[in-house]
Amino acid sequence: MVSAEPPIPEHCDVELVHPDRVDRVLSVRPEDDALDRMAEIFRACSGGTRLRLLLALAEEELCVCDLAATVGASPSGVSHHLRFLRALRLVRSRREGRMIYYRLDDEHVRDLLHLARVHAEH
């Protein structure tokens, strides 16, 4: 038989139970500007099209037209999303003649996508 979890109290009877733990958490928390950038990254990944673009770029470097085909969107829509993702340094581009190719900015983005996928599938 599975035991039920204890109810979560709606209020605390004391102001601070474990000040050492609170101090430890606060000492490693990023500065507010870094927290804002982190929130932007998670917001960018919350849209289905942007997430599909990032996952496609985790597999291959692609141009806008090929990305549009992989995510089922218009090239202009994909370009709009790519501008947003570039501004957050999630993707980067390179020019080859008249073509522009996109890829993930670095391995941190790939790791973030991988961890999110593993977590979602388990």
| Per-residue pLDDT at 3 | 62
pTM: 0.81
With bands split at pLDDT 50, 70 and 90, how would you rate the model's confidence at 5?
confident
Element (H, E) at 78: helix 75-87
pLDDT tens digits along 34-82: 999 999 999 988 889 999 999 999 999 999 999 999 999 999 999 999 9
Q: Exposed/middle/buried for 120, CB within 10 Å: 0-12, 13-18, 19+?
A: exposed
CATH number for the domain running over 31-121: 1.10.10.10
pLDDT of residue 2: 62
